[in-house]
Structure 1
Amino acid sequence: MDKRCLGWCVLACTSAVVAGDADAPGPRTVASVLEEAHGAAAQIIRDAGGQFGIGAFIARQNAELLVPQLAAVGAATEGKWVGDLNDVQQSFLNGTLNAADDMRRSERYPRKKATAMLAQADALLSTLAATYRFPRITDFSPRYVVAPATAASVELVVTGHALDAHGPELNVEGKPCELRDAGAEQLRFHCVLAASAHGHVLAYVPMTLTTYPSQPWWAAMMAWFRPDPAPVHYTLALAVIPSTVGGFDATARVNTGDTGAEASVPLPVGDVAWGGTRDVALPDGAIFVILRGRQADGRVFEDTSSEAPAHPWYATTIDLKARRMVIRARGLDEALAQP
């Protein structure tokens, strides 16, 4: 048994463990199963798109990649019942639905579940003669970038199967990227991102990859008699991260010198860059300080000179004696790895 067949068998066994959830009483059409999977993918795109975290980014992105693959399966199995498929194909079909439905119901969007959606669909497409040469994306990188203040270059790598037929093209917001390297399993592009207009909120930059189904050697000899294959379009939604951890403001309670008199003094702090440090001088006579921080993901925290625990993306030190407050932010990759 070759490695490809062994991989299918292992994945099929994994699919079979959870396939029971997708089986409805009585015979079902393949189209009905695909429709449910498409509905789950649409909900993931909608819900995960509003969440901030690497798991949510990948869940949304993989759900978008899943949509054209479901359409390809539908075209190859038009009019068929689930029972018309062989056992391995049924397992992969049910596994695709279960993986998408599991991801749809998830609250934390684990990366393994997001990967499983594409793995099941990829395996199913590989077993269908009509889609064996269908270009399939299994991953791309980077999945996120920091919002650029000016136009910025990005090297984007796409991996999968049958990707290099007829000169694949990638456009970023309608502008073409330069194809640097093309192989059946990997494409490498040089793209230019425009300056971001969404510096303080999470946004997605739409990128469209256009590929073509590969053809056997004899197809070229019959090109005069056969139309060119229809292009396949994939949407690669690149997450654009706000350029800072978040925004901060502070207030100091100050002893004015008069007996028992105090005053509230606002302290300008502002934004703190990923991996950056903000050092703020405290006013003379400060007896208490409150720092309020709103992270880029919307979470709000409050630190005081008496209690300043570390937060997921930053930590604060407030030293009244030294009249100093320091905010230290995590780097972006480290921050996104936090729960």
Structure 2
Amino acid sequence: MDKRCLGWGVLACASMAYAGDADTPGPRTVASVLEETHSAATEIIRDAGGQFGVGAFIARQNAELLVPQLAAVGAATEGKLVGDLNDVQQSFLNGTLNAADDMRRSERYPRKKAAAMLGQADALLSTLAATYRFPRVTDFSPRYIVAPAKPLAVELVIAGHALDAHSPELTVQGRPCELRDAGAEQLRFLCTLGASVSSRALGYAPMTLTTHPAQPWWAAIVGWFRPDPEPVRYTLALALIPRSVGGFDAMARVNTGDTGSEASVPLAVGEVPWGGTRDIALPDGAIFVTLRCRQADGRVFEDTSSEAPAHPWYATTIDLKTRRMVIRARGLDDALAQP
């Protein structure tokens, strides 16, 4: 096998080397398992990235964290069969694939499954001598934020193992962040998010974390013989949430005073911010009101003056006697916690 193959090249080269006769099943390679897992991760990133909800955000983000870890496993197990690994390593390898495949097939993106997918890979890396010091990101926060209307300073905390070798760097939307605190298990950065042009669609702010594999204690003594290790990069994404629960429009049916004569009067409502309240005066003579909302996640709800049940993200009160309509929106965290 070509020893120049690195990262995902290892997986491709190993698969070719061990493919053999397609009609003759042989011992399974580690590379083939990793390729299946990588394929599942890619699907999760694509599919979950278009869904609105904390579970979907985390599923996409954990799949992004998984990709460089799979490449590291591939480099550390080049040319090996699954049977060459010990029982614990095989369990973690298969567990990573099963968790990723389970998440890929999921429609609701449970957070526990997303955590299991990354946890299995993290455990596998810790059992391989070549990746014991590999910088592993296991979590970061925040995972989502309301899209800012103007530049906003945000503290980003990254958790994992062996994160502080050399000088870790983080960029958000191409802007470098300030490293405030660095430890092996946690990095803390101060970043500036640019103003978001669109406030109505879910988006993602791209982030790149650059770290380095930790060197053993004796590396400082012999370091002048050894080249610096290649940096490890994690491509991440911070979910940018629309600035409002959604857009509202309403129509009032009004008795004009003439016998049996009615008119439809549009009411200006617009968007309601997270945790905000909108109080709208109803026109004189209003006998029926219809309120329609298209939420930020695409769901549509309709309320009337005769029926206005509470919705997951907001509740409406329509009172014809006092001629008031009030919309009360949940706060973002509370809303996203709803089914």
C-alpha distance in 1 between matches for 2:118 and 2:80 = 22
C-alpha distance in 2 between matches for 1:228 and 1:297 = 46
Residue 100 (str. 1) matches residue 100 (str. 2): yes
Question: Which residue matches 1:116?
Answer: 116
5 Å-filtered alignment, 1:1-339, equals 27-339=27-339
Question: Which residue matches 2:18?
Answer: none
Question: Which residue matches 2:16?
Answer: none
> What TM-score, normalized by structure 1, do the two folds share?
0.92
2:249 match: secondary structure: strand
The CA deviation at 1:295 is 0.4
The CA deviation at 1:26 is 5.1
1:157 partner amino acid: V
Structure 1 runs of 4+ aligned residues shifted over 4 Å read none
1:338 match: secondary structure: coil
2:75 partner amino acid: A
1:188 partner amino acid: R
C-alpha distance in 1 between matches for 2:165 and 2:288 = 66
Identity %: 84
The CA deviation at 1:235 is 1.3
Give CA deviations for 1:42-66 in whole Å, capped at 9, x if unaligned: 0000000000000000000000000
C-alpha distance in 1 between matches for 2:327 and 2:134 = 51
The CA deviation at 1:198 is 2.4
Number of residue pairs matched?
315
C-alpha distance in 2 between matches for 1:76 and 1:220 = 23
Give CA deviations for 1:169-206 in whole Å, capped at 9, x if unaligned: 00011110000000000000000000012211100000
C-alpha distance in 2 between matches for 1:197 and 1:37 = 36
1:136 partner amino acid: R
1:52 partner amino acid: F
1:120 match: secondary structure: helix
Question: Which residue matches 2:21?
Answer: none
C-alpha distance in 2 between matches for 1:92 and 1:197 = 43
Give CA deviations for 1:71-92 in whole Å, capped at 9, x if unaligned: 0000000100000000000000
C-alpha distance in 1 between matches for 2:197 and 2:115 = 30
1:217 match: secondary structure: coil
Give CA deviations for 1:214-261 in whole Å, capped at 9, x if unaligned: 011111111211110000000121000000000000000000000000
1:203 partner amino acid: G
